[in-house]
Amino acid sequence: MKALSKFGFFIFLVLGLYLVNSGFEFFAMPNSILTFEKWIFLIAGIFLIFAGFKFLLHKKSSLSY
């Protein structure tokens, strides 16, 4: 299970760095990656929505009265 969470963190990190770089253009991206830009944004958006729900459910379940 820890390997899966480390892999998930790595995927989120790579997508986050890509999104930050696409906005500020710190590094020049190769044209081969830029051809998949719409797909990368779609996958990153799905992962962000998934992470938001997971964060919301984790916060809700951690409240114990």
Q: What would the pLDDT profile of 3-44 be if each residue is shown by its tens digit?
A: 767 887 888 888 888 888 888 888 888 888 888 888 988 888
Return the closest-CA partner of residue 27 out of 37, 35, 17: 17
Residue 64 pLDDT more than 70?
A: no
Task: For residues 28 and 22, give the distance between their C-alpha atoms in angstroms, rounded to a whole number.
Answer: 9
* CA–CA dist 31, 12 (Å, integer): 22
Question: Quick check: helix, strand or coil at residue 27?
Answer: coil
Is the confidence at residue 1, as pLDDT, over 70? no
Backbone angles phi, psi at 45, to 5 degrees: -65, -40
The one-character DSSP state at 26 is -
